[in-house]
Amino acid sequence: MRFQLSPEEIQSIVNSKHVCGNFEGNITKISSLQEAQLGSLSFLANRKYSRDAATSKASLLLLPEGFDCTPGINQAIFFCENPSIALAKICQYIEKFNAHPTPPEIHPSATIHPSATLAHHISIGPNVVIGEHVSIGENTVIGAGTFIGKYTSIGCDVKIFPNVSLMSFSEIGRHVILHSGVVIGSDGFGFEKIDGRLEKIPQIGNVVLEDFVDIGANTTIDRARFASTIIGRGTKIDNLVQIGHNVKIGKNCIIVAQVGIAGSVTIGDDVTIGGQVGIAGHLHIADGTQIGAQSGVTKDTEPHSILLGSPATSFKEAVRQFASLAKLPDFLKKFSKILPDDC
């Protein structure tokens, strides 16, 4: 995004308690410590890059409080409690400043059922389809090509990017963000073998997204067989995640790309799930659990446990197993020398 901020404007955003040096000019880009040039803003969040901070050509640096660094010529340093959070605040400001306000309007190509209820200040893009008895709250923006099924409710201040599918009876809270390709309320994967044939089990429940939920591009969340699949308040889900029917996810969870969660799993609050994790059906993932990337979870977890591996085990045990596995070829070579030839 294009932007131009003076050091004074940045100070008003981050409210640094200790400023060192001076830069006369405007910040026009955000760069890494190594790539920064005149007009760049950069930051140090990981101490292993401390040397880069000392030699960076950035015009303005965000550094941790107490970090020993002397500003160069025409360079300012803002010392912050958490430079990463300070940078996030600046990015939020830039994003908000660059966002072109969408005038509340309904594109003439949109198809809206007469029974739908639309609040004030709503923007509806081209070729949107809104079914019967849908309700949409104030200040909601719906991108082009989105489908909203019957009896779906959408809260206020919701941002729906183009080509999202909200199937019938979905419930979307306030301040929810749905990125392109998201499918909410697709049929759960339910079949029974009857007379040697797989017969589809009707999935007559719905999906509930509570307030402040973010769903990444091309993520799918299945409707419940009955009752609701629920995503808790403040939970953030990355791209390409599959969530099965009747899953219940708690508050403020983070679920990273390519995770697959089988049906009827319950996940507590503040759970973090790394990329490409698979979770078997009907399990309980306790509050505060952290699951490392590419793990396969096959049993319930204890609160605040840290898991890794497939099948997932404690982080310490998994690291020990990985280290042992790496030594296995040498061990087998040595072991083969002491075995009789006929073994």
Whose tokens are 């409707």? That residue is 223
Active site residue 245: yes
Residues 200-221: what's their mean pLDDT? 97
Does position 289 have pLDDT exceeding 90, yes or no? yes
- The pLDDT value recorded for residue 250 is 98
Task: Name the strand (E) or helix (H) holding 222.
Answer: strand 220-222
- The pLDDT value recorded for residue 341 is 59
Which residues are CB-neighbours of 340 under 8 A, at least 6 positions away? none
12-26, 169-183, 297-311, 319-333: segment of lowest average pLDDT: 319-333
Q: Beta strand 177-178 with 214-215: parallel, antiparallel or unpaired? A: parallel
- The pLDDT value recorded for residue 97 is 76
Binning the chain into helix, strand and coil, the percentages to the nearest 5 are 15, 30, 55
Q: What string of DSSP letters covers 138-151?
A: TT-EE-TT-EE-TT
At 227, is the secondary structure helix, strand, or coil?
Answer: coil
Return the CATH superfamily for domain 111-316: Hexapeptide repeat proteins (2.160.10.10)
Measured distance CA(70)–CA(154) in Å, rounded? 52
Q: Beta strand 236-237 with 214-215: parallel, antiparallel or unpaired? A: parallel
- The pLDDT value recorded for residue 139 is 93
- The pLDDT value recorded for residue 81 is 94
10-24, 27-41, 233-247, 307-321: segment of lowest average pLDDT: 307-321
Does position 332 have pLDDT exceeding 80, yes or no? no
* Residue extents of the structural domains in the chain: 7-98, 111-316
Residues 314-335: what's their mean pLDDT? 80
Measured distance CA(57)–CA(76) in Å, rounded? 11
Residues 45-56: what's their mean pLDDT? 91
One of 120, 245, 282, 304 is an active-site residue; which one?
245
Q: What one-letter code names the amino acid at 265?
A: V
Please report, for residues 39, 45, 248, 253, the alpha-carbon distance to residue 209 in angstroms, rounded to integers and kept in the order given: 42, 33, 10, 13
Does position 209 have pLDDT exceeding 60, yes or no? yes
- The pLDDT value recorded for residue 338 is 62
Reply yes or no on domain 7-98 having CATH 3.40.462.10. Answer: no
Sign of CA dihedral 240, 199, 223, 304: negative
Closest to 41 measured CA to CA, from 98, 81, 96, 3: 3
Measured distance CA(180)–CA(80) in Å, rounded? 35
Average pLDDT value over all residues in the chain? 93
Q: What are phi and psi of 326, to 5 degrees?
A: -65, -30
Residues 313-339: b if buried by 16+ CB within 10 A, e if exposed: bebeebeeeeeeeeeeeeeeeeeeeee
Residues 260-279: what's their mean pLDDT? 98
Task: Give the tens place of pLDDT for each residue, 98-156.
Answer: 765 566 789 999 999 999 999 989 999 999 999 999 999 999 999 999 999 999 999 99
